Chains A and B, each alone.
Chain A
């Protein structure tokens, strides 16, 4: 069971949604339906799952229906059809009390223009969700203070929202959402109203907070760079439909259609693609105890002049070069140990390509990708690196 399961979600504005849905099912377009029924289709069809603990980004341009989808999750907008299960319970069928409970305890929302209560002090704003949960002031105050501290706004408790900068106001919005202890955060273009510099800073802070809080976050944005940076998985919406759903890498590497392709064209892929995405399995490796003869044979077979050496547990030990191996053979040695080079370029699988370029510039040999426990995962050659940056499929 996923944290949030959305199935067949539709939203139609206008007098005759049933008829519009019938027409949608027959495959008519938004435009045709508008002409025939006068109804506006905001969401044609959306189905997706959000996993617990992930940042799920819904990306699209204005009018794509992304904000409507988000608002259907907590029924700020009543969906016309479909279901939204949160922890297995269908929110769309919840009664008044059930819905209030979902809003108060399960989901907390962060808004584009912050949505702070202008007549209340900062701390009273942060307490708002707790107040709705029915907490007394003496219970809610410490929680609110803690949340405010978490976003770095200690000392601003008694200010009014208008006395704070945009970035700070959005921290208050974030603190208000965090304070409720809801497991799900709905973030509606939360950083779009901020200056680019502040926006990037807030993105970093969100990622940092998320690594500690482990919430399930549904994040709406129109900014692809933001989507790629934050999203564990991304949904790209177009005209009220899902154009593609996938990880940032999947979307960059294999766009589902021309629309998505046009989107990702201008993305700086060196910042998004990581070593894991482009690394190749090494064709062959040898163990230290294997003799030089075997190593030379393997190198001949794969047409390379170097060979990586791993131990029994597939941990990287080093590499050997063809000239050193041949020397060992001539000296009639039975172990590779004399030729082992251990000082070699390595990288973690999550390193973005932009950083790999710097490493590749200093060495001729391929870069070894190793996990934290030194397991040998793959190699990135200079040729692969250049091809990936150029956007070539492989």
Chain B
């Protein structure tokens, strides 16, 4: 233990938060639970072929024929391996985490773009979130939210949010000064400048942030499975702990397929497409 008792201090803080913050955590817990359950039902209730078709059409429209074919084959393979349910659970978890990360991260990024102070405060915080080993905040997450999917989402959000903040900030700061000046000179309010000029121009960078957030969410799948988040991560863990090499490999493949599909879909979002005026 250090002489400054950093560890003890942290423990006390967590204790205090656990008792005082209980109502807040309970509220967060029920919102997240609803979100995850909703997404899971949406993905699991329809027959798998319907979901595959939707994904395929999305891939085709957003990215192209190649991605569509890959999506279809990949998803069929997952189904064939008997991992459909686990994959959909993971997809629900990833989408829910990414949504929360973006809902928090994009406004923070905008705020940081407007204020140098905010940017300066946020930068080390984001560094901490990204570099602190995820296991360290898994434990408090469990203390606050108990075992299950919710702490999984919380841990994932902490890990996956930084690129959303950073790239939103960057995207807005990259808008040429003169373009912003032009908007203001013609009488745009700060709100109009943000909505009509800065955000639309920042969209490609912003979507790169969305892509990164989703990919990072996916990389937390196995770790969050350790606290009972289920899904593909659970299958991978089973493979490891029970030495079922085949299951582990198959689940790993499913994670990779999901990752590639999500990456191509969100990556394509950021590319300039045919303009709709």
Binding site for B on A (CB under 8 A): 71, 74, 76, 100-101, 103-105, 107-109, 111-119, 121, 124, 128-129, 132-133, 158, 160, 176, 180, 186
Q: B54 contacts the other chain (Cβ, under 8 Å)?
A: no
Chain A residues with Cβ below 8 Å from B179 are 115-118
Q: B188 contacts the other chain (Cβ, under 8 Å)?
A: yes
Q: B275 contacts the other chain (Cβ, under 8 Å)?
A: yes
Asked if B178 and A112 sit within 8 Å, CB to CB, the answer is yes
A132 to B179, CA, bound (A): 15
A3 to B275, CA, bound (A): 42
* Also in contact, A113 and B201, with CB within 8 A (given A132-B188, A160-B275): no
Chain B residues with Cβ below 8 Å from A119 are 200-201, 203
Q: Supply 8 further A-B pairs (C-beta < 8 A) apart from A76-B184, A119-B203, A186-B185.
A: A103-B184, A113-B178, A116-B179, A118-B179, A121-B277, A128-B182, A129-B187, A133-B187
* Also in contact, A109 and B197, with CB within 8 A (given A115-B181, A118-B179, A160-B275): no
| Minimum distance in angstroms from A206 CB to a CB of chain B | 18
* Also in contact, A109 and B275, with CB within 8 A (given A76-B181, A119-B201, A132-B192): no
Asked if B187 and A115 sit within 8 Å, CB to CB, the answer is no
A128 to B184, CA, bound (A): 11
A-B contact pairs, 30 of them (CB 8 A): A74-B185, A76-B185, A100-B187, A101-B187, A103-B187, A104-B186, A107-B185, A108-B186, A109-B181, A109-B182, A111-B178, A111-B181, A111-B182, A115-B179, A115-B181, A116-B179, A117-B179, A118-B179, A118-B201, A119-B203, A124-B277, A128-B182, A128-B186, A129-B186, A129-B187, A132-B186, A132-B188, A133-B187, A176-B186, A186-B185
* Also in contact, A113 and B187, with CB within 8 A (given A121-B275, A160-B275): no
Task: Point out which of A101, A105, A132 has the most chain B C-beta atoms below 10 A from its C-beta.
Answer: A132
Docked complex: B235-277 residues within 8 A CB-CB of A:
275, 277
B197 partner, pick from A105, A108, A117, A160, beta carbons under 8 A? A117
A74 to B182, CA, bound (A): 11
A182 to B237, CA, bound (A): 69
The number of residue pairs between A and B whose CB atoms lie closer than 8 Å in the complex comes to: 66
Q: Chain B: which residue is nearest A104 at the CB level?
A: B187
Q: B189 contacts the other chain (Cβ, under 8 Å)?
A: yes
A155 to B269, CA, bound (A): 30
Chain B residues with Cβ below 8 Å from A111 are 178, 181-182
6 smallest beta-carbon distances between A and B, as pairs: A115-B182, A104-B187, A103-B187, A115-B178, A109-B185, A132-B187
Q: How large is the interface on B (under 10, 10 to 19, 20 to 34, 35 or more residues)?
A: 20 to 34
Q: Chain B: which residue is nearest A112 at the CB level?
A: B178
Q: B176 contacts the other chain (Cβ, under 8 Å)?
A: yes
Chain B residues with Cβ below 8 Å from A115 are 176, 178-179, 181-182
Asked if A117 and B201 sit within 8 Å, CB to CB, the answer is yes
A160 to B273, CA, bound (A): 13
| Minimum distance in angstroms from A116 CB to a CB of chain B | 7
A71 to B180, CA, bound (A): 13
| Minimum distance in angstroms from B213 CB to a CB of chain A | 23
Task: Point out which of A129, A180, A186 has the most chain B C-beta atoms below 10 A from its C-beta.
Answer: A129
A49 to B238, CA, bound (A): 81
Asked if A103 and B185 sit within 8 Å, CB to CB, the answer is yes
A109 partner, pick from B186, B188, B203, beta carbons under 8 A? B186
A42 to B189, CA, bound (A): 26
Asked if B189 and A100 sit within 8 Å, CB to CB, the answer is yes
Q: Chain B: which residue is nearest A106 at the CB level?
A: B187
Chain A residues with Cβ below 8 Å from B187 are 100-101, 103-105, 129, 132-133
| Minimum distance in angstroms from A118 CB to a CB of chain B | 6
Q: Chain B: which residue is nearest A173 at the CB level?
A: B182
| Minimum distance in angstroms from B145 CB to a CB of chain A | 41
A111 to B196, CA, bound (A): 19
Question: A-facing mask of B131-170, CB < 8 A → 1, else 0?
Answer: 0000000000000000000000000000000000000000
Question: A-facing mask of B182-209, CB < 8 A → 1, else 0?
Answer: 1111111100100011001101000000
| Minimum distance in angstroms from B49 CB to a CB of chain A | 38
A101 to B189, CA, bound (A): 11
Docked complex: B203-232 residues within 8 A CB-CB of A:
203
A129 to B188, CA, bound (A): 9
| Minimum distance in angstroms from B186 CB to a CB of chain A | 4
| Minimum distance in angstroms from A58 CB to a CB of chain B | 16
| Minimum distance in angstroms from B153 CB to a CB of chain A | 34
A100 to B190, CA, bound (A): 11
| Minimum distance in angstroms from A77 CB to a CB of chain B | 10
Chain A residues with Cβ below 8 Å from B184 are 76, 103
A71 to B184, CA, bound (A): 11
B186 partner, pick from A158, A160, A180, beta carbons under 8 A? A180
Chain B residues with Cβ below 8 Å from A176 are 186
A98 to B186, CA, bound (A): 13
Chain B residues with Cβ below 8 Å from A121 are 275, 277
Asked if A158 and B277 sit within 8 Å, CB to CB, the answer is yes
A121 to B200, CA, bound (A): 13
* Also in contact, A103 and B181, with CB within 8 A (given A121-B275, A158-B277): no
